[in-house]
Structure 1
Amino acid sequence: MAFYTIGEVAERCGINPVTLRAWQRRYGLLKPQRSEGGHRQFDEEDIQRIEEIKRWMASGVPVGKVKALLEESQLAVSDGWAALQEEMMLVLRHARPDRLREALTRLGHQHGADILIDRILLPVRQRMSLDQTTARAMASLLDGVLIDYAVLRIAEIRQNSTKEALLAGWGNQDRTRLWLEAWRLAERGWHIDVLAEPLESPRPELFPGQHFFLWSGKALTHSQQEQLSHWHQQGFAVFLHQA
């Protein structure tokens, strides 16, 4: 079995060694072996785990939540979620939008938005990104069906919702995830409308008196935190939406 130093892994994965140490010490994401001299030794499984961590974070998951997702994916085989994820993957490989909609509708009748999004849909999207042999067109097909389904569910729920709010993506270009989060908010009782274009500089002053949810999918930058505080000081009803 080949082992690699932290410097070699950092270069190979495009990650600063300081970050790798933080992932190990602060977040418990990595457990490299140690040489007789006490130096970290990484193997291929460690590198695969690092790449998976990077993909979760690139999809908008805060680093503090990655460990739980990694552990959930390991437990999925025993708790049945892996089977449902594989079912979705199998339907997707047939490249039939109608069958994909049918599977999604059936799962939607069995599970609420939180469960369906977190346990099935996001892991399937993650697996699509990990599968280098999967055509980009298949991932795009999945996203199109997910947006279509989320819009349908939002419209259905909206008929019985009275708490009106807007949702906008803040510095995150994942439009599919934005619509999934809108569906999540709708199931929590919000009559939700979506600003479909992700924004770098939201303008809540253009929507006076309205609840305004912002979704970034990751930890806010210092400037974003300052901007959020400034809006609150101005009296705007701006809230950070977190899954």
Structure 2
Amino acid sequence: MALYSIGEVAVRCGINPVTLRAWQRRYGLLKPQRTEGGHRQFDEEDIQRIEEIKRWVESGVPVGKVKALLEGENVNLHDGWTALQEEIMTVLRHVRPAKLRAKIATVGRENPVDALIDHVFIPVRQRLGLDQNTARAMCSLLDGALIDYVAFCLAGSRKKAGKDALLIGWATDDRTRLWLEAWRLSPQGWRIDVLAEPLEMPRPELFPGQQLFVFTGKPLTRRQQEQMAHWQEQGFTVTHTGS
């Protein structure tokens, strides 16, 4: 029977090893074997379970509810992400940057990046954007903590094997979403650098030979689509992301 290390499983399943450890320790979702030295080893059945967990989470189920689903229990699926959003909001209302950073790090370890961005951080930022004054200050606090955490994650991913790429904001004023989209690309095997200041018009010729991602925050306009096609005809490797 073939056994795989946590690093091998992480690559095969597209899940960060830190997340796999959290699924095991905090939620009891995994029960890997151990070597004499205490290292985790996973078999094909474990990998199938990880893929099933991943499918549930990516479909919008909070990781804290997955175990009950796997065991055939009836679960209310609609309140999990909302509860996590409220936890973030509660920490923000207490205006404790250290606790906010710790909370973001915890949920970042326990949840796939795509699900966390789409079901927690974007909705919370949207809620805060509907209000004025105090909510705007809270949103700024959240944005600073998110960028800080994402920069930490990107720095770690650059130490691993992968493909180098540069992310550029194109005609957008949402710098935090730019960093979140860089974080989204990282688990896909990209070692991302971010051009922190969005541009009205990117210039791929300034970055010859590099893989470029452009983020607009919305679907490309017809003019932008034509510009993308023109760049690609010129031989630049440019991809739109995060629409």
Partners of 1:131 and 1:78 lie apart in 2 by 24
- Whether 1:229 aligns to 2:229 is yes
Indicate the residue corresponding to 2:45 in structure 1: none
Cα drift, residue 130 of structure 1: 2.2
One-letter identity of the residue aligned with 1:201: M
Indicate the residue corresponding to 1:121 in structure 2: 121
Unaligned runs of 5+ in 1: 1-68, 70-75
Identity of aligned residues (%): 59
Cα drift, residue 162 of structure 1: 2.2
Indicate the residue corresponding to 1:212 in structure 2: 212
Cα deviation, 1:98-124, whole Å, max 9, x if unaligned, reads 000111111011102111111111111
Unaligned runs of 5+ in 2: 1-59, 61-75
Q: CA RMSD in A?
A: 1.8
Indicate the residue corresponding to 2:197 in structure 1: 197
Partners of 2:78 and 2:162 lie apart in 1 by 40
Partners of 2:138 and 2:170 lie apart in 1 by 26
Partners of 1:184 and 1:85 lie apart in 2 by 19
Cα deviation, 1:61-116, whole Å, max 9, x if unaligned, reads xxxxxxxx9xxxxxx97241110000000000011100001111110111021111
One-letter identity of the residue aligned with 1:176: T
Cα drift, residue 147 of structure 1: 0.5
Partners of 1:137 and 1:161 lie apart in 2 by 38
Partners of 1:165 and 1:155 lie apart in 2 by 13
Indicate the residue corresponding to 2:130 in structure 1: 130
After the TM superposition, which segments of 4 or more aligned residues of structure 1 sit over 6 Å from their partners? none
Report matched runs for 1:43-192 at 5 Å.
78-132=78-132, 134-192=134-192
Aligned residues: 169
Partners of 1:172 and 1:92 lie apart in 2 by 26
Which range moves more in the overlay, 156-165 or 168-177?
156-165
SS at match of 2:236: coil
- TM-score (norm. length: structure 2): 0.66
- TM-score (norm. length: structure 1): 0.66
Partners of 2:117 and 2:202 lie apart in 1 by 26
Partners of 1:123 and 1:191 lie apart in 2 by 26
Distance 1:155 1:214, change over 3 A: same
